Structures are given as structure tokens and as C-alpha cells.
Chains A and B, each alone.
Chain A
Amino acid sequence: MASQFDASASAFPSRRTILKTVGVGAIGLAGIPFLAACTGGSAPSATGSESSGLTFGSGASDDVPKRAYQAVTDAFTAKTGKTVTTNVVPHNDFQNKINSYLQGSPDDAFTWFAGYRMQYYAGKGLLAPIDDVWQTVGANYTDALKKASTGPDGKMYFVPNYNYPWGFFYRKSLWAEKGYQVPATFDDLKSLATKMKADGLIPIGFADKDGWPAMGTFDYINMRLNGYQFHVDLCAHKESWDQQKVSAVFDTWKALLPFQDPGALGQTWQDAAKALEAKKTGMYLLGSFVTQQFTDPTVLSDIDFFAFPEIAMEGRDSVEAPIDGLLLSKKGGDNKAARDFLAFLGTPEAQNAYAKVDSSNIATAKGADTSSFTPLNKKCADTISAAKNISQFFDRDALPAMANNVMIPALQTFIKDGTIDVKNLEAQAKTLYAAQ
């Protein structure tokens, strides 16, 4: 500051002037470059050159899946001599930050899901198409899996690793004791539930404190009533929510509500699994991950599974079986080693390496080792391989904002008092999908 200003006190600008000056500066700063910096990812950039290796971003942060992916990358390195640098991120963080991750400096390959959540980023040009990889691994997969790995432009983007089916789980001993039969149709299901209720059981275990489990019931009734394609189109908001077909889903569900656990809104799926174990509930509609809760081997061997009964359309052709697998980021698309890694994951060899460590899921590649399967695993695997369509669960097939912000409160209200406002669902869907 120059010394000629002897009126020192006055040399300090007045408060108002300061505010004005910095205000203008702030508006300038608030502009776009700053925002861009905010959303920048923090992932380390690829280190290896294209031939020597690749980076692999993994959201599989729990101990078992983490070691399982480690086994896959080790097998890949042993086979090809190319190194894989794995960056493991806690899975919730990984999912929540996927937007900034993909725009920043993503790893070459990364773990993700099939369905709308994959197609959305493919449509935004943030993923690399891998049709060449599918040329080599395509024969290892069923058509339903291939369909689930296709992007909105018809190109292939995804390599499935494993999945797990949703269906009704029950205790064989309880059913044998009471003489219950596996229901084939929705009417059979209702009469079975009526019988169970008369026997003093809660017929259908149910938990929706976390909000998402109820989507499984919605998806199945929707697919059995209106077909797989309608499910996909509704989730992508190509179909309106404000129509008879959607109302029919809720009307059908209403017939099931009295049989579902009335305490659903206060319990988590783990609580409901315990109720099934304790033979308080007759059956429980959930993903096969429910078996993780049955730590007692005698209980686990007493668990059986049946697919959601048919209602009106397509019999039981569609199975809800969320698929986890790998994608290539746009940058990773230039790396030959990363493409080789995805192709490797599409082989029974790689999936065996994975399943050896993490056996709670079903490998997706044909020819993967099934010798260590329990009868229940085998039934799950058969259900999936017999399926003509594989849906991904509502929160993977739909816009996440639609699933989390709209469907969770709407379904909880429905469970509470049996009312649903499809007009309002459509109004919300319109705004949220328009923002994408």
C-alpha cells in the first residue's frame, strides 16, 4: 500500500465498498469453472501405459467381495503378465460419487450394475462400447444376460460377473409339517396365504423400513401383469405412470397386503429374515442374499426357494436378478489391457476364481463351476438360466431419483393405508426425468 495516503483511517475502504467489490468478484467466481472444479473426481489417474496394465476402480469394499476381485485380478496378471492397479472405494461412496468419478479421471475398468443405471451413463457418452469384447465372450452368456448388457444405442457396454435372483424363500420343514404346496398362480398364492393365516402364521414376511425392499413386490406384480417390456419402459419413463396398467398393479397388490407382515415399516430385511428363521412367517420375498442371515447351517439347508407365481402375462419368464459386473470408462476404452481384462472376466475361468472366494452369488458365465453349489444355489442358478428376461430391480432399472425420492415414500404410504396417487407419481416422474 502506498505511503502517500496519510489519512490512514480513510485509506481503508468503507464496508459497503468492500461488499460491492467482493460481491462482484464472488459472482464471477461462482461461474462455471469453479463448479467444474467442484465436481472433479479424486481418483488417481492411470499409471500404466496401455500395454503394461490397467487401473481398476472397485466398489466391492466388503471383505469377501474385495478378496474375490483380488483373486480375479491376480488370475488375470498370472495369465497375461499385465498388472492391474485396483482402487477400492467404500461401496456407498462409490455409488454416490459415480457422477463426478466418471467425469474426473476414472479408472480404466470399474465395477457397476446392469440396467438403466448403466444405460444412462452409456447414453451420456461416459462409457466405452465393447462390442469386440462381446465377440469373444458372447457365447458364454444367455440372451437375457446379453440383453441386460446392451446400451441404449444397441452397442454392448457391460460384462456380467454374477447375479442373484429374487423370489420367495421358505423353510422346507415348516411347509412339510403343515402340508403347504408351492403356488403356481397368484390365486394359489392367495389361498396358500389364507391357509397360513388360519394356522396363526404371518403368511408373507415383509420389511420396508429402508424403503427399497417393497420395490421387489412392485416389480414382480408389474412384470407378471404387464410384461417385462412394460417394466423397462415404465422405469425409463417411456410409459406414463398415470394409466390403468399401473393402477392395476396396485389393485392386485392390495389383495396381497393383508397377508404381508403388518410391521413392515418398522423392520429391516434382516429382521424379517429372522422372523422367517423363527417360523413366524411362512415365506419371504427377497433376493437370495437373504441366506447370508442364516448363519446356522441346519437352518440354511432347510431353506428353499420358488419363483414369483404367474398372474396374467409371460408366465414366469421374467426373473428379477440384479447383475453386477464391469464397465469400461471412456478413457479405458483406449487401453487394450483394460479390454482384455473385461474379456477375461467374461470367462468361466475368471468367474470361478471370483466364486471360489465369494460363493453367495451365482456366476453368470456358462460353464462356470457348479460343483460346489448347494441345492438352493443350483435352484437359483436354474431359475436365472431358464429366464427369458432378467430385470434389474426398480432402483437399478429406473432413474435413481425416481426410485429413492418418489417410489420409497409412495410405496410406504401404500403399505400404510393402501392408497396410491398415480397422477402424482406421473407428475413427479415428469419433472425428475426432464432434469436428466
Chain B
Amino acid sequence: MSSTAQELIPPESRDPANAPSKRRPGRGRVRRLSSSDKVVLALMVGIPTLVELALVWLPTLMSIGLSFTRWNGLDLADIRSAGTDNYQFISQDYPPFWPALQHNMLWLLFLALIATPLGLLLAVLLDQNIRGSKIYQSIFFAPVMLSLALIGIIWQLFYQRDNGLLNFLLGTAGTPQAVDWFGDSSVNIWAALIAATWRHAGYVMLLYLAGLKGVDPSLKEAAAIDGASAVQTFFRVVFPAMRPINIVIVVITIIESLRAFDVVYVINRGTNGLEMLSALVIQNLVGEGQVIGVGSALAVVLLVISLVPIVFYLSRTFGKESKA
């Protein structure tokens, strides 16, 4: 490293006299680092970077590479270039792809318009110091902590055709009119969305509760003195004051809807009206039905879509830091 270190020095800092105006106040402090400090710093930066590289960037790059190949997963000599064939396949010949994309969009709209506002509503209600608030919080948050298998069982109890709770309440259990909530492809996406809302709302509620606690009470008092109603106070004062939380929630909602997987997977592995991109990726990459090229292409599509909110989020956070 030492032989190239001289080249690695950015030009403007090789001669500090050249750019005195660009010097930041912190730079003098950095100069006093001892060589052992530098070793420690290098380790602290280097190890996470290497871990990130090995576990995140490397697989990502390999997936992108593999999405342009045909490979049976057996012998490395069998990897053949496929050009964009895999992408053509998923967009033209693979029937579940477009429904999956639509379902992901529907999922996003539903979470954004129903589940997230519901979580906000719960948070506002529970923030009012009502009796048993802690108990309600725990109840609403519990679904977030449950395992996949348990969620499957719980919703099975609700939705079963012959002896499920829902059909029982509708009075149709055991009759031919009983709605097949999981098997009928015209209703099962809605059944799954309700199960997803049940999880997502609790998560959003917890984040907003933390956000509401962080809002300075004097803001509310000031608004009250100015004669604002409770609703006005909330929408004009409190809600805008929670901007950092709002951004986090927006990003979480988008990412949750893109990687929506567990609920549909426990219902029927994401087939028959419940196609989702993430379930298709698993179907094509894991297990015996493995088609590495096609699965990788699906994963890349998902990656590209996910990059949009991630870039949005990062530019908001880092943009703010540089302004500060």
C-alpha cells in the first residue's frame, strides 16, 4: 500500500498551500492521528467494508452476471451466455410475471393508503394516555414478532372454507356458498392484504408512537393558544414536525410492499392469484425448480425497482447532512 499511497493523495491536498480556503475546521485534528490510530481506523472501516462487499455487493454482482447466462447449477463449464434471453422469457413467456408485478403495485397502494394510515391512527389514539395503553400497544405490535408458521396457522383459522371463523360469522360455513378465501383467486389477494395490514399497521404504529413522543409539547401548546383545533394541530403542526419519521415510514412501506413474501408464501407459495415478485424469485432460485438464469433475472428486476426508493431515501438523508 505504501508504494501507491503517494498517488492516492488527492491533488489538492498534496500542496496544502494551494487550497487554504477549502480547508475544513476538522482537518487539523485529523492530522494528529498517530499511526496506531490509523491502523485502528483502517480496521474499523475496512472490516465492515469487506463484510459488506462479500455478503452484499458480491452476490448482487453475481446475480446480475448470472441473469445473462444459462446455467444448470452443476458444472461451471456449463455456464453459457444467454444475452437478454432470460429477460425476454420473463416478460413474454412466463405467465406469472405480469400478475406478480401488478400484485406488488396493489400491495404498495393498499399498504400506503390503508395500512399505514391505520397504523398512524392507532398511534395517535394510543398516544392519548388512555387506560391500558401499554396493553393495546403490545397487542397491536404482537403480529410483527410472530413467526411465519404461526401467521399461517392463525389466518388459516380465520379463512378456512369449511370451519373457518369468517365463514362461520357469515353463516356460510359448510354450505356451498362458503367463500373459499384462500383458494378463490378473485378474493385471495384481498385476504392476504388484510393479513399483511394486520402486521404492517402494528409496525407503523410503533414507529409513530416513538415519533409522537419526540414532538415538543410546547408546539402543541402554542398551537392551542393560537386557537387551533385538535385536528388542525395534528395535521398542521405535529405531523409536519415528524418529518424524519414520515420519510422512514414511506421508505419502509415501499420496501415492505416490494419484498412482500411471507404471507403469500404461507398461504399457497405464491401461486393461483397470489403471485408476487419475491415469491417468484424464491421459486426460481431455491430448490429443485431452480433455473438460475431466470431466477437471477427476476431478482435483478426486483433490485432495480427497489433501488428507486432506496436512492430516494439515501439522497434525502445524506442531502440533509451536507446541508447541516
Q: Which residues of A contact B (CB under 8 A)?
A: 1-3, 5, 7-14, 17-18, 22, 26-27, 29-30, 32, 34-36, 39, 92, 95-96, 98-100, 103, 124, 126, 209-211, 263-267, 400-401, 403-405, 408-410, 412-413, 416, 421, 424, 427-428, 431-432, 434-436
User: Which residues on B sit within 8 Å (CB–CB) of A95?
Assistant: 287-288
Residue B96 contacts which of A39, A98, A409 (CB distance < 8 angstroms)?
Answer: A409
Pairwise interchain contact B8-A424, C-beta atoms closer than 8 A:
no
Interface residues of B in 1-56 (CB under 8 A from A): 1-2, 5-6, 8-10, 13-14, 16, 27, 30-33, 35, 38-39, 41-42, 49, 53
Q: Is the CB of B288 within 8 A of A17?
A: no
- Nearest-neighbour CB distance to chain B for A257, whole angstroms, equals 15
Per CB-CB distance, the 3 closest pairs between chain A and chain B, nearest first, are A266-B183, A404-B289, A400-B288
Complex: A65 Cα to B290 Cα, angstroms:
27
Provide 17 A-B residue pairs closer than 8 Å at the C-beta atoms, listed in order of the A residue.
A1-B38, A7-B31, A8-B30, A9-B13, A9-B33, A10-B14, A11-B8, A11-B9, A14-B8, A264-B183, A400-B289, A401-B288, A403-B289, A412-B271, A412-B272, A421-B95, A436-B72
Interface-lining segment among B58-66, B216-224, B229-237, B243-251: B58-66
- Cα separation A2 to B85 with both chains bound (whole Å): 52
B contact residues, total (Cβ < 8 Å): 64
A29 touches B185 (CB 8 A): no
Assess whether A2 is in contact with B2, with CB atoms less than 8 Å apart.
yes
- Considering only CB atoms, which chain B residue lies closest to A209 in the complex? B268
Instruction: Give every chain A residue within 8 A of B287 (Cβ-Cβ).
Output: 92, 95-96, 400, 404
From A95, which residue of chain B is reached at the shortest CB distance? B288
A26 to B61, CA, bound (A): 9
From A416, A428, A435, give the contact of B93 (CB < 8 A): A428
Known contacts A32-B76, A96-B287, A431-B89, A8 near B183 by CB under 8 Å: no
- Nearest-neighbor residue (CB-CB) of B16 within chain A: A7
B74 on interface, CB distance cutoff 8 Å = yes
The 8 Å CB contact of A263, one of B16, B57, B76, B183, is B183
Q: What CA separation (Å) do A47 and B263 show in the bound complex?
A: 44
Is the pair B183, A98 in contact by a Cβ cutoff of 8 Å?
no
* Nearest neighbor of B14 in chain A, beta-carbon distance: A10
Which one of B184, B185, B288, B294 has the greatest number of beta carbons of chain A within 10 Å? Answer: B288
Roughly how many angstroms separate A41 CA and B58 CA in the complex, as a whole number?
A: 21
Residues of A within 8 A of B269 (CB): 210-211
Inside 8 A of A8's CB, which chain B residues have their CB?
A: 30-33, 38
If A96-B286, A435-B293 touch, whether A265 touches B53 (CB-CB below 8 Å) is: no
* Known contacts A30-B62, A124-B74, A416-B185; 14 further A-B pairs (Cβ under 8 A): A2-B5, A5-B5, A7-B9, A10-B10, A13-B8, A26-B53, A26-B57, A96-B288, A267-B183, A400-B287, A400-B289, A421-B95, A428-B94, A435-B291
Known: A10-B10, A209-B268, A416-B185. A27 touches B161 (CB 8 A): no
Residue of A nearest to B10 (CB): A14
Q: Is B203 an interface residue (CB 8 A)?
A: no
B182 an interface residue at 8 Å Cβ cutoff? Answer: yes
* Contact of A431 with B93 in the complex, beta carbons under 8 Å: yes
Residue of A nearest to B293 (CB): A435
In the complex formed, the residue of A with least CB distance to B1 is: A1
